[in-house]
């Protein structure tokens, strides 16, 4: 292969890895928005706590990769449900801005709570033997492959749950209009909890994978990654699950390409400018559409 193509393929692989992590987090933003029309600004910090759960499971419990991943997802899911029950549910009928402030507050709480327990950055140990293959000049690491495939697997699973199971049906019904959902016999609060659990569980998975790819973790790591995942969700069309995935891979791609061709300090500036332009052209995001106003 020519050097140019090799270089490109390498960047595409890197973009897929980064995009996969953004996608797992973006799904949580979009699912919660879909069901409650609320932006869960604490979600990036749930991702961060997920990375710390991964650290705890790997270091203090000495667990191997798969149990660490599962335990992290479970812990993050419980955290997501707790946040919803304790902080958001009491405000469900309060003005929108109260919910936003609460979400920001929960995020700051999580950051500082973690900071209090872990004042110094932590190192996540190598949980997987990392092999690097050379495919005609393009190098692919086993970690990269696992991150990409696992993320895709989780996304397919989620897509299946949302589109093919009764719980997913109930989620879509609530996201359309939850007024009459109880008339169907569907317990709305339970479905909301399940939504938070799934969204946070995916963020936990993202925390684990991010921790393996970039092993130094700190309490503020969720802020920037969270914003980027949120922007991915908006670019894809907030509330739309497939949109969040597409938006995340686009953002991952743009970031990697900018970093590859321009000074690294340009990365976020150029990436965000492109995304703003995209939103000017498509204000509802790539797959989003203005909902017909219902009376």
Partner 1 sequence: MSNGTSGFEEILLEVRDLVVVYDGIRALQGVSFTVLKGEIVTLIGANGAGKTSILRAISGLVPYQGAILFEERDLKRVPAHRIVGLGIAQVPEGRGIFGSLTVLENLRLATWQRADKGELEADYDRVFQIFPRLRERQHQAGGTLSGGEQQMLAVARALMSRGRLMLLDEPSMGLSPRLVQDIFRVIEEINRTGVTILLVEQNANMALRIASRAYVLETGSVMLSGTGRELLGDPRVKEAYLGA
Q: Which of 160, 176, 261, 269 forms a contact with partner 1 (CB under 8 A)?
A: 176
**Residue closest to 119 by CA, chosen among 254, 261, 260, 217:** 217
Binding flag, residue 100, partner 1 (CB under 8 A):
no
Binding flag, residue 280, partner 1 (CB under 8 A):
no
Binding flag, residue 186, partner 1 (CB under 8 A):
yes
Strands annotated E in the chain = 122-123, 132-135, 138-141, 216-217
| Touching partner 1, residues 245-274 (CB under 8 A) | none
Pairing between β-strand 122-123 and β-strand 216-217 as defined by DSSP bridges: antiparallel
| Touching partner 1, residues 139-168 (CB under 8 A) | 166
Q: Which of 14, 175, 208, 232 forms a contact with partner 1 (CB under 8 A)?
A: 175
Binding flag, residue 90, partner 1 (CB under 8 A):
no
**Residues in contact with 3: Cβ distance below 8 Å, sequence separation at least 6, in sequence order:** 137
What is the total count of residues that contact partner 1 (CB under 8 A)?
20
Q: Which stretch binds partner 1 (CB under 8 A): 23-31, 136-144, 180-188, 196-204?
A: 180-188
**Residues in contact with 41: Cβ distance below 8 Å, sequence separation at least 6, in sequence order:** 100, 103, 104, 106, 107, 226, 230
- Give the DSSP H or E segment for 254: helix 241-261
Helix (H, G, I), strand (E, B) or coil at 122: strand
Binding flag, residue 172, partner 1 (CB under 8 A):
yes
Query: Which sign does the torsion angle of CA 215, 216, 222, 228 carry?
Result: negative
Q: Which of 87, 91, 104, 169 forms a contact with partner 1 (CB under 8 A)?
A: 169
Toward partner 1, which CB reaches closer, 119 or 185? 185
Binding flag, residue 137, partner 1 (CB under 8 A):
no
Binding flag, residue 30, partner 1 (CB under 8 A):
no
Helix (H, G, I), strand (E, B) or coil at 140: strand
Q: Which of 97, 116, 183, 281 forms a contact with partner 1 (CB under 8 A)?
A: 183
Binding flag, residue 182, partner 1 (CB under 8 A):
yes
Contact 218, 234 (CB under 8 A): no
> For binding to partner 1 (CB under 8 A), which residues are involved?
166, 169-170, 172-173, 175-177, 179-188, 292, 295
């Amino acid at each position: 292969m020519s050097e140019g193509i090799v270089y490109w393929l390498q960047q595409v692989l890197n973009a897929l890895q980064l995009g996969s992590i953004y996608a797992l987090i973006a799904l949580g933003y979009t699912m919660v928005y879909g069901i409650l029309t609320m932006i869960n600004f604490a979600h990036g910090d749930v991702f961060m706590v997920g990375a710390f759960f991964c650290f705890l499971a790997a270091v203090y419990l000495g667990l191997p990769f798969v149990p660490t991943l599962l335990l992290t997802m479970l812990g993050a899911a419980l955290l997501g449900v707790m946040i919803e029950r304790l902080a958001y549910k009491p405000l469900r009928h309060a003005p929108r801005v109260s919910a936003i402030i609460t979400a920001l507050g929960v995020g700051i709480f999580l950051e500082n709570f973690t900071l209090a327990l872990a004042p110094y950055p932590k190192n996540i140990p190598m949980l997987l033997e990392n092999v690097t293959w050379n495919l005609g000049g393009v190098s692919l690491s086993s970690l990269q492959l696992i991150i990409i495939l696992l993320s895709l697997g989780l996304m397919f699973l989620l897509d299946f749950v949302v589109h093919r199971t009764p719980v997913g049906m109930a989620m879509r019904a609530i996201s359309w209009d939850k007024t009459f959902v109880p008339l169907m016999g569907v317990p709305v609060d339970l479905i909301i909890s399940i939504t938070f659990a799934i969204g946070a569980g995916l963020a936990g998975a993202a925390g684990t994978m991010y921790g393996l790819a970039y092993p130094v973790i700190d309490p503020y790591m969720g802020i920037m990654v969270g914003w980027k995942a949120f922007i991915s969700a908006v670019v894809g069309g907030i509330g739309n699950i497939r949109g969040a995935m597409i938006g995340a891979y686009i953002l991952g791609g743009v970031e990697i390409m900018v970093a590859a061709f321009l000074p690294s300090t340009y990365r976020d500036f150029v990436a965000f400018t492109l995304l703003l332009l995209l939103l000017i052209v498509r204000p509802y995001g790539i797959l989003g559409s203005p909902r017909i106003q219902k009376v």
